[in-house]
């Protein structure tokens, strides 16, 4: 197998990018946009692999149109890890499925998905297929949705190679064995003949990772890759994912509910709420100085001895219906800072006080004014104490 040289990713800590965000951006037709939403995507760079611009996805249903994704924009550079976080139903998977071309035909997709500058939404189906699964691969939450129970692991891995490359089957099987070795499955040669049900959950997820990287992808999209596994196995799988990503020089879009995982793995983080990006920036500034109350609420919901005496502070309320979105900021019914302005106008994603750090909030400066922005989500008993 032609594995490229192992160029290790720079350590996450301290690897903070700086960019000059222009106040105006020219689109391909030469029009000038002053839209802040667009400014939140970094300017294109030579090492940019994936650029998602103003992606929106709607599903017409009997109950009305579901506005699942509303203007998601991000850019991903070589070997970078972008974490996408947000509550259930916030549009994390749908936005990634759009990149993978896995949405049902009924989905109405708008925006741009640029792979090395080429818009995937405008490519011929043949060209799209040649990218998806080869240059952009996916690791699903439940490996059983991607692994076929009636074929051996070896056959499935070999098929994944042969779908994109002409070679003798025995060479594809040799690469499959190499991949099982890479993801840490012992006795890889013999395991090629196993069926998925003969693997433990952790081994199946390793096989899934092997399948994702077998064609040396540039981008791996991992959607909740470990939530189906027990806690002790989760950390091992994530570590393996990072190791394998470095071995094939890929970048990762990592979708997770787990802020701890993002903190440990992601260079950048995109926080989603009600189908929209509500905060984006380098991981450390976003975690240390959140500028959107929802992010502060998420951070406050991690039990912390320092801020909540070890208690969990869940954000009260539930996300809005994506069919009937409230007027104004969709977080306003749950936000302790909400006022009339919030209930009237939905805030743009705008640059905050730290460069390259964007938030969609009319009152981000109020978070900037306090030392601990999670304080707004204190429970009644904490406030009394
Ligand atoms: N095929 C579909 N038809 C109609 N609505 C859909 C369809 N697929 C997804 N949705 C809706 O789109 C919204 C976003 O879903 P998505 O799966 O992206 O959420 P998520 O952020 O990944 O949540 P979770 O953390 O639970 O995986 C949800 O309200 C979901 O019900
Ligand atoms: S815009 Fe208003 S309601 Fe929305 S998050 Fe900011 S303060 Fe809260
Ligand atoms: Mg999901």
- 363 close to ligand 2 (CB < 6 Angstrom): yes
pLDDT value of position 312: 66
- 331 close to ligand 2 (CB < 6 Angstrom): yes
- 59 close to ligand 1 (CB < 6 Angstrom): yes
Residue the block writes with tokens 């196993």:
194
- 335 close to ligand 2 (CB < 6 Angstrom): yes
pLDDT value of position 311: 59
pLDDT value of position 385: 60
pLDDT value of position 212: 93
The Å distance, Cα 213 to ligand 1 centre, comes to: 26
The Å distance, Cα 201 to ligand 1 centre, comes to: 24
Nearest to residue 132, comparing CAs of 120, 141, 142?
120
The Å distance, Cα 355 to ligand 1 centre, comes to: 32
- 347 close to ligand 2 (CB < 6 Angstrom): yes
Ligand 2 atom with least separation from CA of 337: 7
Q: Considering only CA atoms, which residue is closest to atom 3 of ligand 1? A: 59
Vertex 208 angle, CA 205 and 209, to 5°: 90
**Residues of the chain below pLDDT 70:** 1-40, 303-312, 380-385
- 94 close to ligand 1 (CB < 6 Angstrom): yes
pLDDT value of position 314: 81
- 90 close to ligand 1 (CB < 6 Angstrom): yes
pLDDT value of position 27: 33
- 296 close to ligand 2 (CB < 6 Angstrom): no
The Å distance, Cα 50 to ligand 2 centre, comes to: 30
The long-range contacts involving 112-116, CB below 8 angstroms and separated by at least 24 positions, are 112/51, 112/52, 112/53, 112/54, 112/55, 113/50, 113/51, 113/52, 113/53, 113/55, 114/50, 114/51, 114/52, 114/53, 115/49, 115/50, 115/219, 116/48, 116/49, 116/218
Q: Could you report the per-residue pLDDT of 56-112, keeping only the tens digit for each?
A: 999 999 999 999 999 999 999 999 999 999 999 999 999 999 999 999 999 999 999
């Amino acid at each position: 197998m032609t594995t490229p040289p192992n160029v290790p990713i720079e350590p996450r800590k301290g690897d903070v990018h700086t960019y000059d965000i222009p106040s105006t951006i020219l689109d391909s037709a030469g029009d000038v946009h002053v839209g802040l939403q667009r400014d939140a995507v970094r300017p294109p760079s030579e090492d940019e692999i994936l650029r998602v611009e103003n992606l929106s996805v709607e599903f017409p249903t009997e109950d009305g149109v579901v506005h699942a994704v509303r203007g998601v924009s991000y850019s991903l550079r070589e070997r970078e890890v972008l974490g996408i976080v947000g509550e259930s139903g916030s549009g994390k998977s749908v936005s990634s499925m759009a990149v993978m071309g896995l949405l049902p035909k009924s989905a109405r997709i708008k925006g741009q998905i640029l792979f090395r500058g080429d818009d995937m939404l405008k490519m011929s189906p043949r060209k799209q297929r040649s990218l998806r699964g080869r240059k952009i691969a996916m690791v699903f939450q439940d490996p059983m949705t991607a692994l076929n129970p009636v074929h051996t692991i070896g056959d499935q891995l070999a098929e994944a190679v042969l779908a994109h490359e002409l070679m003798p089957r025995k060479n594809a099987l040799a690469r499959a064995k190499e991949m099982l070795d890479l993801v840490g499955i012992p006795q890889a040669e013999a395991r090629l003949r196993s069926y998925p049900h003969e693997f433990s959950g952790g081994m199946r997820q390793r096989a899934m990772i092997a399948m994702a990287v077998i064609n040396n992808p540039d981008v791996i999209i991992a959607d909740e890759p470990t939530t189906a596994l027990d806690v002790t196995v989760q950390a091992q799988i994530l570590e393996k994912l990072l190791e394998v990503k470095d071995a094939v020089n890929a970048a990762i879009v990592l979708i997770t509910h787990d802020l701890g995982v993002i903190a440990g793995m992601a260079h950048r983080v995109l926080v989603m709420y009600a189908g929209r990006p509500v905060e984006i920036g380098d991981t450390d500034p976003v975690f240390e100085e959140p500028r959107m109350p929802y992010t502060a609420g998420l951070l406050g919901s991690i039990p912390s001895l320092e801020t909540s005496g070890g208690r969990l502070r869940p954000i009260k309320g539930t996300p809005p219906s994506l069919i009937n979105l409230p007027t104004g900021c969709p977080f306003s019914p749950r936000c302790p800072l909400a006022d009339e302005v919030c209930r009237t106008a939905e805030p743009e994603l705008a640059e905050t006080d730290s460069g390259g750090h964007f938030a969609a909030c009319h009152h981000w400066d109020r978070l900037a004014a306090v030392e601990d922005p999670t304080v707004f989500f204190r429970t009644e008993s904490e406030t009394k104490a």
